[in-house]
Amino acid sequence: MQTIELVIADQIFIARLEELSAPRTCEYFLSLLPYDSKVIHVRWSGEGIWIPWGDQRIDVPHENTTCHPLPGQMILYPGGVSESEVLLAYGPVTFASKAGPLAGNHFLTITNGLEKLESLGQAVLYCGSQPFRACRISDY
């Protein structure tokens, strides 16, 4: 199992890749690491933060898809109906765009620090974009 460290604003989270259920999505995400960006609050989907990737298409199949990620679950939408993106749920989410409902590949789950996620989401909502960094911790 590969472990990922997420640093969002001043909070640190530990997460596992869902390699058995979303292998191609995990492989793609690993190819980006270390990854630095900013998160913003979702527009349509509820209580989540996201990184919009624009019109680029990501070459991964639909795998382990969900429209309702649970708090601490990260999904990747490879593009198509809407722009490509990653979204991290911190509360109830119904994944959607202005074009309607979407399904994303659940590929990462926070295993440590989940109790800090809701306050982080609220900070992004009320204070604006926050720095995001993802890096691999270990392979075991």
pLDDT tens column, 2-58: 999 999 999 999 999 999 999 999 999 999 999 999 999 999 899 999 999 999 899
Mean pLDDT of 105-134: 97
Instruction: Tell me which residue range forms the domain holding 111.
Output: 2-134
- What's the CA angle centered on 14, arms 10 and 18, to 5 degrees? 135
Q: What is the pLDDT of residue 97?
A: 92
Q: What is the pLDDT of residue 138?
A: 65
Quick check: is 95 in a domain? yes
pLDDT tens column, 50-80: 999 999 899 999 999 999 999 999 999 999 9
Lowest mean pLDDT among 12-16, 61-65, 109-113, 136-140: 136-140
For position 72, which CATH number holds? 2.40.100.20
**Which residue type sits at 26?**
C
Q: Where are the beta strands (DSSP E) in 1-140?
A: 2-8, 11-17, 35-41, 46-54, 65-66, 73-77, 84-93, 96-97, 100-101, 104-112, 130-139
Rounded CA Rg of the chain: 14
Quick check: is 91 in a domain? yes
Place of tokens 């009320």: 126
Quick check: is 139 in a domain? no
Res 140 pLDDT > 60: no
Quick check: is 29 in a domain? yes
Quick check: is 28 in a domain? yes
Q: What is the pLDDT of residue 33?
A: 97
Place of tokens 């680029």: 56
The neighbouring-strand residues paired with 14 are 5, 112
Domain count within the chain? 1
Q: What is the pLDDT of residue 31?
A: 97
79: Cβ–Cβ under 8 A, 6 or more apart, which residues? 53, 55, 56, 57, 58
Quick check: is 140 in a domain? no
